A and B are shown apart, each in its own frame.
Chain A
Amino acid sequence: MEKHELTCIQCPIGCALTVTVDGENVTVTGNTCPRGRVYGIKEVTHPSRTVTSTVPVTDGEIPRLSVKTRTDIPKEKIFDVMEVIRKTKVKAPVNLGDVIIENVCGTGTDVIATKSVK
């Protein structure tokens, strides 16, 4: 049995959650609404985040292109994804939404441009 102490981020109240994992059984206490329960379970079983960063862009009006993972990726993959982003360079022009890295680190999601650079 393991216990996790979390702060709920579903609203400004910020309930202090205790999530207990006992095999298949996940229980949440400390929440004051159903959203807190859903959040607590997800944070402990499949935490995920969107990663945002920048890559250098040559021949463009500005030197850096901002990028993001199109969807959330598993939290434990954040630093692997950053490693790949850090080795990436692109050439202008780039349009918002262009795929910069396909299926990054086998997560099934692409890294895409969040800016247009002429």
Chain B
Amino acid sequence: MQSHDIVIIGGGPAGLAAAEAAYDAGARDILILERDVRLGGILNQCIHNGFGLHTFGEELTGPEYAERYINMVEERGIRYKLRTIVADIDENKRVTYVNGEEGAVTVQAKAIILAMGCRERPRGALGLPGYRPAGIFTAGTAQRLMNIEGYLVGRRVFVLGSGDIGLIMARRMTLEGATVCGVAELMPYSGGLNRNIVQCLNDYNIPLKLSHTVTMIHGKERVTGVTISEVDGNRRPIPGTEEYYDCDTLLLSCGLLPENELSKSAGIELDRVTGGPVVNDRLQCSVPGVFACGNVLHVHDLVDFVSEEAERAGKNAAHYVAEGEGSDGEATVLKAGPGVRYTVPQTLDAGLMDESVKVRFRVSDVYRDRSVSLYYDGRLISKRKKRIMAPGEMEELILKKSSFDRPVSEIRIAVED
């Protein structure tokens, strides 16, 4: 069996940044496995701008951002295989992949970096009433058909869900001559970034209907229209509020789910809230030597944060290959307190941690003029006031090694007055 120091599953933004950082940390025997026909992942179809402000200090489109990382990988001579799908990973870090040239091949990895990204929540997971006509697409599928393959998927469009991809597609289809009738969002607040509400909807007078959902999809062969209704505080449709929209296409932008089928086959412990692996401060999963980064770990708002996180995973994987795991002291557990949905990482090793560790988390509601409090075993360590926090905007907090002057078993982050 062939062996490699580091096998990276996925050649999107996370896989590319992890590869580059692993190389720069000294690893040489690196292999990226990518199932598409080119590297870059979802960035290839995200042709809009707004990427790279944090990483490169300039505003790039998705393909431009991808090409910079692809060039870094090429310049370093890092090997990759395209049109190659990973079929299995086992708990001994054996990776089985399949492609048209080699057939099915199993390789032994010293370290694995999971960078498979996420998938869109499909219609079947939403329980939308109606027939199953043509013309219902997840927003990302419509984006791929339009921007990669060149098909306009509809002429009169309604969008369910105010996730960023749905907002971006509302603008994109308008620019290509389609009419976008409206966007319905189940929650009383938008799931997308403010900038996208303004520049994708307001710019083109597309109405955003908060606390609304689709209650009927009409049409047997092709979508002919949708009925939407207002929902109450428990997200139940209110009878009598129905409105009919004539349209031939329904786009769904109702959330993203980390893609962890392979992680499960390797016996990796998953977090129920993030849908991604449970990781420590080195982004290592419950199986030693397996690291996770990007949207497979938790869904990010900005690719810049994916790159930064993936570089940490790549560097840590290189260190693992060179030095082994090191001693594993008692892990400190990070807990999401009131108002916080989750934290990444979920555990921390105060003995082995870097000088500082970035913790990313999401809040569970829109909060104005509240504080983020940090507790070590019930002791208040810091309290920081925030003008606004929203579930759609990832928050972060830095933990300093120097703050662990005595053993801590539980770190808690909470939203407080």
A: residues with CB less than 8 A from B are 6-7, 9, 12-14, 32, 49-54, 56, 61-64, 66, 68, 75, 78-79, 82, 86, 96, 114-116
Contacts and interface: CB of A to CB of B under 8 A. Distances in A.
A86 B193 CA distance: 28
Interface string B46-71: 01110000000001111110010000
B67 A116 contact: yes
B199 A66 contact: no
Given A7-B198, A12-B388, A115-B63, A52 B37 contact: no
Given A9-B199, A53-B175, A96-B67, A61 B61 contact: no
25 contacts: A6-B198, A7-B197, A9-B198, A12-B388, A12-B390, A13-B387, A14-B388, A32-B387, A49-B199, A52-B61, A53-B47, A53-B176, A54-B146, A54-B147, A56-B150, A62-B37, A64-B148, A66-B47, A66-B147, A68-B47, A75-B203, A79-B175, A82-B175, A114-B63, A114-B64
Nearest to B40: A115
B64 A51 contact: no
Contact of A54 (B47, B67, B202, B388): B47
User: Looking at B146, B147, B194, B197, which has the most chain A CB atoms within 10 Å of its CB?
Assistant: B194
A12 B196 CA distance: 11
A13 B388 contact: yes
Contact of B63 (A49, A56, A66): A66
Contacts of B61: 52, 66, 68, 114
Given A49-B199, A61-B37, A96-B67, 10 more contacts: A7-B194, A50-B49, A51-B175, A52-B48, A63-B148, A66-B147, A68-B49, A82-B175, A96-B63, A114-B60
Contacts of B202: 7
Contacts of A61: 37-38
Interface in B2-61: 37-38, 44, 47-49, 59-61
B405 interface: no
A54 B145 CA distance: 12
Nearest to A81: B175
A68 B63 CA distance: 11
B195 interface: yes
Contacts of B387: 13, 32
Contacts of B49: 50, 52, 68
A64 B150 contact: yes
Contacts of B193: 12
Contacts of A114: 47, 60-61, 63-64
Contacts of B194: 7, 9, 12, 14
Contacts of A7: 194, 197-198, 202
A84 to B, nearest CB: 12
Nearest to A83: B177
A113 to B, nearest CB: 9
A82 B64 CA distance: 20
A-B residue pairs, 8 tightest by C-beta: A66-B47, A115-B63, A9-B195, A114-B61, A14-B194, A64-B150, A114-B63, A13-B388
Contacts of B63: 66, 96, 114-115
A83 B176 CA distance: 9
